[in-house]
Amino acid sequence: MTVGMRVGLVCPYAWDVPGGVQQHVGDLADALTGMGHEVSVLAPVGSADTDLPDHVVPAGRPVPVPYNGSVARVSFGPRTAARVRRWIDEGSFDVLHVHEPSAPSVSLLSCWAADGPMVATFHTSNPRSRAMAAGSGALRSAMEKINARVAVSEAARRTLVEHLGGDAVLIPNGVAVRRFARADPLPGWPGDGGSLAFLGRLDEPRKGLATLLAAFALLAPERPGLRVLVAGPGDPGPALEEVPADLRDRVVLLGRLDDADKARAYHSADVFCAPNLGGESFGIVLTEAMSAGAAIVASDIPAFAAVLNGGAAGELFRTGDPVHLAEQAGALLDDPVRRAELGAAARRAVRAYDWETVAAEIVRVYETVLMRGGTPATGVRLDTGPRATALLRRGVG
């Protein structure tokens, strides 16, 4: 494996404002650094007294502009462009990795300013704004320089293929294990009487809330203190009918949670349930619960069985069978030692889906871009602009 690459990451949105792209770039930078690569991140930074990690280089003050249907905080203009050029010139990077390259910010400026091995990751799947933007020659001239395009989702890939043509490889976001690893339980949880938890859309039958509530109805009469924490958007009505009226006050509906409370929710119950009936390709909720070290009972759909190492990292029950779920969950509620074992096993198993694994795939992209059939790659340089000799390079006429 190539070790010790110098990677320049470009983030178009203000570093001190939370957002998906910023999060992605930060997680990737940490993972790459952990693998022994040298990383520098260029990003707009709002206030001067923001506590920045050492590897983040401020590119200028961001201004709010409407972009992609919301307000993005980006940097643009001659002063920012000068900083971008200096960063590229002094960075002597082996590869430049630009995020959201068509965003009118340091990303686009970097594409214009640099020449050499370039990778770009496309995050959004908003068909309209890119359609307008992709038309101009100036934007196309930036996009044309990119050697390797990566999309974080099938929707993002489709958007970029439709509007820019060409193709991209799909590399999904990693699970930020450390973000869920530690958190305080929500106030009042898990409580003394035992508790179960569920996260996900309440009114989507495939998420299996009805199965869990039917199992709860079986367990609750013998366990007077048992409660269920139910978090997620949607109407719980149909699923709640599984629970007799006198037990319903022990079903605690929290609605949609923000990220911080979501992390806390995974730490708030004795047993975490993933009762999905199918259709989950991966189970992001499951991997987040595993990151938190929760004791898990999950349905035995193939995706979950694979993620849970066939039951070693969490108990599996027969999909859609509330009796079996009640049995498994009941046994776990009575056995704190087994719960601790399962939680530790889950933490170990989720590492396969961690950012490190995803970053290894990104490194493979870098290596492919740098693999030039023997001739050594030259690294990233400043673009010297139009060359008159280019007209003659391939022999006119």
Partner 1 sequence: MVAAAVLALVLFAFYLSWRATRLDRLHHRVETARAALDAALLRRGSAVLDLVAADGLPPEHARALADAATAARRAPEAERELAESALSRALRAAVDPLDAPRELHDHLAEVVSEARRVHLARTFHNDAVADTRRARRSRLVRALRLAGTAPLPDFFEIDDEPPAAPPPPAGSDTL
> Total residues contacting partner 1 (rule CB under 8 A)?
41
Binding span for partner 1 by CB under 8 A among 5-13, 15-23, 140-148, 173-181: 140-148
3-state secondary structure 363-395: HHHHHHHHCCCCCCCCCCEECCCCCCCHHHHCC
Q: What is the CA radius of gyration of the chain?
A: 25
Between CA 106 and CA 74 the distance in angstroms is 8
Position 391 contacts partner 1 (CB under 8 A): yes
CB of 120 to partner 1, least distance (A): 11
Question: Binding pattern to partner 1, positions 86-125, x when CB under 8 A?
Answer: -----------------------------x----------
- Residue of the chain from 98, 148, 274, 342 that contacts partner 1 (CB under 8 A): 148
Position 245 contacts partner 1 (CB under 8 A): no
Between CA 98 and CA 8 the distance in angstroms is 8
- Residue of the chain from 3, 245, 337, 388 that contacts partner 1 (CB under 8 A): 388
- Residue of the chain from 47, 70, 281, 375 that contacts partner 1 (CB under 8 A): 375
> Quick one: 164 or 274, whose CB is closer to partner 1?
164
Position 376 contacts partner 1 (CB under 8 A): no
Please give the distance of CA 137 from its chain centroid, rounded to a whole number: 32
> Quick one: 44 or 101, whose CB is closer to partner 1?
101
Rounded to 5°, the CA angle 207-320-244 comes to 85
Between CA 20 and CA 151 the distance in angstroms is 14
- Residue of the chain from 144, 154, 162, 259 that contacts partner 1 (CB under 8 A): 144
Position 3 contacts partner 1 (CB under 8 A): no
Q: How far is CA 136 from CA 101, 142, 169, in A?
A: 14, 10, 24
Q: What is the DSSP string of 218-287?
A: HHGGG-TT-EEEEESSS--HHHHTTS-GGGGGGEEEEES--HHHHHHHHTS-SEEEE---S--SS-HHHH
State which of positions 297-326 bind partner 1 (CB under 8 A).
Answer: 309-312
Separate counts of helices (H) and strands (E) for the chain: 16, 17
Position 367 contacts partner 1 (CB under 8 A): yes
> Quick one: 50 or 141, whose CB is closer to partner 1?
141
Position 153 contacts partner 1 (CB under 8 A): no
Binding span for partner 1 by CB under 8 A among 16-24, 72-80, 105-113, 145-153: 145-153
> Quick one: 35 or 240, whose CB is closer to partner 1?
35
On the CB side of 290, CA atoms within 13 Å amount to: 29
Contacts of 221 (CB under 8 A, 6+ apart): 247
Which residues are at the interface with partner 1 (CB under 8 A)? 115, 141, 143-145, 147-149, 165-169, 309-312, 348, 352, 361, 364-365, 367-369, 371-375, 385-388, 390-391, 393-397
